[in-house]
Chain A
Amino acid sequence: MKARAALQGIAGILLFLALWQAAVLSGIARYEYLPAPSAIFGALVSLAQSPAAYGETAHTIAAALIGWAIALAIGLTLGTALGLSPRVRRYTLASVEILRPLPAVALVPVALLLFGFSIETELFVIVIPTIWPILVNTMGGIASVPERLREVARAFRLSPFAAAVRIFIPAAAPAVLVGCRLSMTIALVLAIVAEMIGNPEGLGYAVVREAQALQPELMFAYVFVTGILGILLNAVLVALAKALLPGEFRRPSVAWDRPR
């Protein structure tokens, strides 16, 4: 069943590429800078042999992962505190709700003014918006732990710390994981945005550079690489979560690893 679904998926992609190829070769699609898939594939092969391309990819992965890790540390800590304590929630939730809808791209000029064209700018642009899904999901997950489990914690006379570690945090794990996955995607997108306009390095800068150099094959090849990167990072995260998640969530009926 699974293999068949995968084959059907691949067939769909191949069909799309074939139509694209035909449209370009036949001249139906008349865009000066729209290369055929075969040309993009050639550019990909040349990228695969270019050390510079590996360096750019490594830069983007590193920036996204470091930014994500920083956001994770901040988001999990704040989210746990907000989830556990209604008082902390009362004092800080308004600030969160004001900052959260701020469009991520609006941070780029702010960061540029503060840090110049640098990795600091890139990380700043990645970290701030990446915190929110982690924070909100962690907070929500912990705050919505069922009343019965709270009573179990009380009836068994668990200390606040023991209750958090043994009951609240594991009970919130699936929600926290959703936040981690959402934020991973955001971190990658923002790394590329930041590289396009803030920090001239990595894949984001490469896409812009090839576009300005009128090298559409290379530009599309770089776009393709960013797409593959997103898929790979998500797959690694899902595999990691499967290995680490507490027992219940390995049960087949819990659909935590379906796309949301």
Chain B
Amino acid sequence: MTPVTIFNLDRVSLSLPVRDGVRRILEDVSFSLAEGEILTVCGASGTGKTSLLRILAGLTRPTSGLAEFRGRPIDGPQDGVALVFQDYSNALLQWRTVARNVSLGIEGRMNGQAAAELVGDALRLVGLEHNADDYPWQLSGGMQQRVQIARALALKPSVLLMDEPFAALDAMTKAALQDELLKVKQQTAESIVFITHDIEEAVYLGNRVAVLRGKPGVIARLIGVGLPFPRNQVTTRELPEFLRLRRAVHDAIGGDA
């Protein structure tokens, strides 16, 4: 049985208008995402990582090529696709409590009881069940990013799209959230597309790593990650295979990124 294809991109290119003409952002990007897979996208700044995610999210339309979600062209944000932004403090509604932030996407779509249960479940998944009544500005950066992840999980999405979600966090918080994400993924079994410029993070989290390179960005390599689950911040990172993959991604990025 072949796994269900969630996303399929076929020679997707993107150009955006700038003051003196157009800027080519992405060129001939092709890949597909299978159900349950974690695809990490790694590349230096300006290689179109975020633009690629925006295409998947339905926020930006490709200039040419085909971008499909479950076999249908993406013409806008899709049901079952949830987005987590990098800048949590801008993306959260600072005037709403944690619980009311998490309910943003589901309130009004079901009765209050059902919504409250989903919110409770999502908060438990990220370990924030005791912060339901706090405001985001009362929480640390790592906790705010958890709120954003819970807000996405409350939608019961089949795909999580994450745009450098841990880039603004300190190393310890980052490691903790990486492990939490893998744990949540095990429990909820959604697919994940995870953008990062951190090579080790890309290898640690992914089933596959797509390396973007150049301007306009092209996919330099798609690297399968055969590391065993559950992964461990110490032992996984010591495996010879981890080091080999890290080297491979580094080389594909093209130097000192």
Contacts and interface: CB of A to CB of B under 8 A. Distances in A.
Interface of A: 146, 148-149, 151-152, 154-158, 162, 166-167, 170-171, 173, 245-249, 251
29 contacts: A148-B87, A148-B91, A149-B90, A149-B93, A151-B59, A152-B85, A152-B91, A152-B104, A154-B59, A154-B76, A154-B77, A155-B57, A155-B82, A155-B83, A156-B77, A156-B155, A157-B79, A158-B104, A158-B105, A166-B93, A170-B95, A171-B93, A171-B95, A173-B95, A245-B95, A247-B96, A247-B97, A247-B135, A251-B135
Contacts of B108: 162
B85 to A, nearest CB: 7
A155 B95 CA distance: 19
Contacts of A162: 108
B95 A248 contact: yes
Contact of A156 (B96, B97, B104, B137): B104
Nearest to B107: A166
A167 B77 CA distance: 18
A251 B77 CA distance: 33
Nearest to A167: B93
A59 B66 CA distance: 69
- Shortest 9 CB-CB contacts between residues of A and residues of B: A246-B95, A248-B94, A248-B95, A156-B105, A148-B90, A155-B83, A247-B95, A247-B135, A155-B77
Nearest to B148: A152
Given A157-B105, A246-B95, A251 B137 contact: yes
Interface of B: 57, 59, 76-77, 79, 82-83, 85, 87, 90-91, 93-97, 104-105, 107-108, 135, 137, 155
Given A149-B91, A154-B76, A171-B93, 20 more contacts: A148-B85, A148-B87, A155-B57, A155-B77, A156-B104, A156-B105, A157-B77, A157-B79, A166-B93, A245-B95, A246-B96, A247-B95, A247-B96, A248-B94, A248-B95, A248-B135, A248-B137, A249-B95, A251-B135, A251-B137
Contacts, number: 57
A146 B79 CA distance: 24
B59 to A, nearest CB: 6
Contacts of B59: 151, 154-155
Contacts of B90: 146, 148-149
A220 B8 CA distance: 79
Contacts of B83: 155
A167 B91 CA distance: 11
Nearest to A148: B90
B16 to A, nearest CB: 15
Contacts of A247: 94-97, 135
A67 B155 CA distance: 45
Nearest to B105: A156
Contacts of B77: 154-157
Contacts of A167: 93
Nearest to A166: B104
A190 B89 CA distance: 42
B18 to A, nearest CB: 17
A251 B94 CA distance: 10
A148 B86 CA distance: 10
A167 to B, nearest CB: 7
Contacts of A245: 95
A166 B95 CA distance: 10
Nearest to A156: B105
A170 B91 contact: no
